[in-house]
Every structure is written in structure tokens, then in C-alpha cells.
A = this chain, B = another copy of it.
């Protein structure tokens, strides 16, 4: 897509509006507004900035807005990162709720939020609702791999699952990877603790039986935690409990390694000099492994495109989340999931 400012949408493409919760996330509204401006320009879409108008206006004033299409949608309240998802029902005028209603009311085809995942999920489910036929909304997260990323689904929305729910996750993940990531025939695997068919807990064993007979996707069998990063599977189906633990363990050890390396580098002048020379290589590998680069989590099954960016997202993360939302809208992921689940 064009990165030039002021361009109109490509011929034949319908105008796309993305609603962005400008008040959610650790660095809101500063980094959110900055990311929205970058995203609007990079992907040639119109952004609805939802939140406190004065604060949003003040942030917008810091940027060159030539050719940037945007609108400010006022919202009187905010849900803080540490509030429970139940706040969604209490604070009706919270920015995340107003953002969800922009999608419900057709003002936007997609939304991006960087606040609490639980709140965004609750709000989108409450106001936008599920696609017809979808039993449960699931979180899909693109995990980095040696080659193409792997979509882990569910990464935390549903702590307790059934084989039927997990089959829907497989369908939704398959549609997403095929249509947005252009994987011709996605390899769908079941996250398990061994490769053999009889492995796993009761839920995994039952799910294996259901997945292997479903013709809507190409089931390749069980995959292990380490396979997520090998490029050998495109969609890893998991219950939300194990999936979340896989995601957070991987994030956690990478963060630990980064800290340890910083400590080691500080110990010697030689290492400091080496770091200066190796910085690009380290950052290249680090970016590849960084979830922010992939734009955040997808809420699949909601009847509108919804991307949840990391709470600690900066402008680059928000811009990438907007890219993911735009790609999902353009590929008509919702329509295709609806069709598959009919």
C-alpha cells in the first residue's frame, strides 16, 4: 500500500474507516494519536480518533496532518489498564465502548484498541456481538517464526474450551491466514505436548478426533510449544488457557534474555564496542521476535474487525495494528468466516 501522504484510496477500493481508542494503553493519548496519524497516511484510510477531544487535538497539533483523513469522536470516560473488564458495563461512555459503537453503527469497518485486552474483548462482544454461528470469540496472535508467522488461536479469551469451540477457532484461523496472509492451504495444528495422535490431556485428545475429520481446513496433527516458532505450522489451535501460557512464556523469556544481555554488555568495554557494531543485527533479530511489529492480537468471531494492540504499544505498534485491521477489512475476513460457519 502507498506510504505517500494525501493520496486517495486506490481505484476501486471502498473508503475504509478505522476507529481508534485514543485513550487506551500505557502511552495514550500521545503514542496512539501519533500511530494513528502514521497509519492513516501509510495505509490511506480515514481514522476516527475516539476520546477526550481537547487531549486528542493537542496531540494532533504536534504532527503534520497534510493529507491525513481523520475525525475526532468524543468520549467522556476512560477505562484504566488496571480496571476489571466489568468496568465496560458500568462506564457506558468509556472510549473503548464508543469505539466499539462506531463499528456497530457502521461509522467504521474496524477498530483498534491498546488498552486492557479483557476490556476490549468485553466491549466488542457487548456492542458489536458475534458473527452468526460463532459460539465464542477467540484471540488470535501471530507468533514470530524462522519463516512465516503462525497464528496462535485462542491466546487467552476462553479459559475453558470444548472440542467444538476449538474447531471454530481452526476455521477462523484458517480463513484469516488464507485470506490475509495469502497462505494457499494453511497447515492447521493442535497445540499439544507430543506429536503422536494419542498424546495430550482429555480435551486435546477429543479435539484431535474432531479436527481430523473436518474438511474445512488442512489438519496436520499435533504440534508442540517449540513448533510455533519453526515455520512448520500456520494455525496453532489451542484452548485459551494453554495458548495464553505459551504466549506469555515466550514473551517472558525474550524479555529476560534482553535484560541479561544488557547486564553482560555493561560489564566490559569490549562488549560495549561489539554491541555498537552488532546493534543492527541484534535489533533486526529482536524486531522479528517482537509482538508489536506484528500489530497485536485479533479478536476473531466478533461481527466487526477488532485488533487489540499491546498495552505498552507505541506509535509503531498502533500503526501496525491499523495495518492489520485494514488488511482484514480488505480481505473480507468477516464475510468469509460467516460463510464457513453457516
Contact = CB atoms under 8 A, between A and B. Distances in A.
Interface string A278-307: 111110111011000000000000000000
A145 B252 CA distance: 9
A253 interface: yes
A86 to B, nearest CB: 11
Q: Which of A84, A156, A254 has the most CB of B within 10 A?
A: A254
A285 B264 contact: yes
Interface in A149-163: 156, 159-160
A199 B202 CA distance: 21
Interface range on chain A (Cβ under 8 Å from partner): 35 or more
Contact of A281 (B156, B248, B271, B280): B271
A259 B193 contact: no
Nearest to A262: B285
Nearest to A243: B245
B246 A229 contact: no
A308 to B, nearest CB: 15
Interface stretch (A3-11, A120-128, A219-227): A219-227
Contacts of A274: 273-279, 281
A273 B277 contact: yes
Nearest to A160: B201
A145 B259 CA distance: 10
A315 interface: no
Interface in A236-281: 238-242, 244-257, 259-261, 263-265, 267-268, 270-271, 273-281
A193 B200 CA distance: 20
A191 B159 CA distance: 13
A278 B269 CA distance: 10
Contacts of A255: 226, 229
B193 A245 contact: yes
A234 to B, nearest CB: 16
A225 B248 contact: yes
A115 interface: no
A180 B263 CA distance: 27
Contact of A254 (B242, B253, B268, B288): B253
Contact of A265 (B241, B246, B247, B281): B281
Given A242-B241, A257-B257, A257-B289, A281 B264 contact: yes
A204 interface: yes
A228 B253 CA distance: 8
The 5 closest A-B pairs by CB, nearest first: A274-B277, A225-B248, A226-B252, A274-B278, A264-B281
16 contacts: A144-B253, A145-B256, A159-B193, A159-B201, A193-B245, A204-B241, A224-B244, A228-B249, A250-B250, A257-B285, A260-B288, A261-B281, A264-B281, A273-B274, A274-B276, A278-B278
Given A261-B285, A264-B281, A268-B280, 10 more contacts: A201-B239, A225-B250, A226-B251, A229-B249, A246-B246, A250-B252, A260-B289, A264-B282, A270-B277, A275-B281
